[in-house]
Structure 1
Amino acid sequence: MSDGVRCMWMRGGTSKGAFFLESSIPSDKDERAKFLAAVMGSPDARQIDGMGGAHPLTSKVAVVSTSERDDSDVDYLFLQVQPDTGSVSDSQNCGNMLAAVAPFAIERGLVNAEDGESTVRIYMVNSDSRADLVVQTPGGRVTYKGDARIDGVPGTHAPIMQNYFGTAGAQCGALLPTGNQIDVIDGVEVTLVDNGMPSVMLRASDFDLTGYEDPKEIEAIAGLKDRIESIRLKAGELMGLGDVTDQTIPKMCLISPPRDGGIINTRTFIPHRVHEAVGVLAAASDAAACMFPESVAKGMAQFDEVNPCRVDVEHPTGSLTVELEWDGETVVRTGLLRTARKLMDGEVFV
Structure 2
Amino acid sequence: MAQLTIPCMLMRGGTSKGPYLRLTDMPEDREQLAELLMKIMGAGHELQIDGLGGGNSLTSKVAMVGPSRTPDADVEYLFAQVGIVNRTVDFSPNCGNMLAGVAPFAIESGLVYATEGKTTVRIKNLNTNKVIHSTVQTPDRRVEYGGDFVISGTNTPGAPIELTFLDVAGSKTGKLFPTGQKVDDIDGIQVTCIDAATPVMIVNASSLGKTGHEAPGEFDADEIFMQRLETLRRKAGVLMGMGDVSNMVIPKPILVSPPQTQGIICARYFVPDRCHKALAVTGSIAIVNALCNEGTVAQQLVQSEQGRVDFKLEHPTGFIDLTAHWQHDEVQSVSLVRTAKPIFSGLVYLN
* TM tier, smaller: over 0.9
Structure 2 counterpart of 1:13, which letter? G
State, as a whole percentage, how many aligned pairs show the same letter: 42
Structure 2 counterpart of 1:348, which letter? V
Instruction: Measure, in 2, the Cα distance between the counterparts of 1:30 and 1:336.
Output: 34
Q: Give CA deviations for 1:44-68 in whole Å, capped at 9, x if unaligned.
A: 1221121101011000001111002
Return 5+ residue gaps in structure 2 as ranges: none
**Matched-pair contact (CA < 8 Å) for 2:121–2:134:** yes
* Alignment partner, residue 135 of structure 1: 136
Bigger mean CA offset, 23-32 vs 5-14? 23-32
Instruction: Please show how residues 199-214 of structure 1 align to structure 2 within 5 Å.
Output: 199-214=200-215
Instruction: Measure, in 2, the Cα distance between the counterparts of 1:113 and 1:51.
Output: 29
Instruction: Measure, in 1, the Cα distance between the counterparts of 2:290 and 2:329.
Output: 11
* Alignment partner, residue 161 of structure 1: 162
**Matched-pair contact (CA < 8 Å) for 1:264–1:302:** no
Instruction: Please show how residues 1-350 of structure 1 align to structure 2 within 5 Å.
Output: 2-301=3-302, 303-306=304-307, 309-328=309-328, 330-350=330-350
The 1:89–1:222 alpha-carbon spacing in structure 2 relative to 1, beyond 3 Å, is closer
Runs of 4+ in 1 over 3 A off after TM superposition: 302-307, 327-330
Return 5+ residue gaps in structure 1 as ranges: none
The 1:303–1:248 alpha-carbon spacing in structure 2 relative to 1, beyond 3 Å, is same
1:92 deviates by 0.7
Q: Give CA deviations for 1:183-215 in whole Å, capped at 9, x if unaligned.
A: 001111000111111000011111211111110
Structure 2 counterpart of 1:205, which letter? S
**Matched-pair contact (CA < 8 Å) for 2:10–2:19:** yes
Secondary structure of 2:247's match?
coil
1:71 deviates by 1.2
Secondary structure of 2:302's match?
coil
Instruction: Measure, in 2, the Cα distance between the counterparts of 1:330 and 1:235.
Output: 24
Instruction: Measure, in 2, the Cα distance between the counterparts of 1:328 and 1:210.
Output: 36
Structure 1 counterpart of 2:80, which letter? L
Structure 1 counterpart of 2:225, which letter? L
Q: Give CA deviations for 1:267-289 in whole Å, capped at 9, x if unaligned.
A: 11111111000100100001211
CA RMSD of aligned residues (A): 1.4
Secondary structure of 1:77's match?
strand
Instruction: Measure, in 1, the Cα distance between the counterparts of 2:341 and 2:42.
Output: 23
**Matched-pair contact (CA < 8 Å) for 2:307–2:326:** no
1:111 deviates by 0.2
- TM-score between both structures, scaled by the size of structure 1: 0.96
**Matched-pair contact (CA < 8 Å) for 1:263–1:287:** no
Instruction: Measure, in 1, the Cα distance between the counterparts of 2:65 and 2:4.
Output: 21
1:302 deviates by 5.8
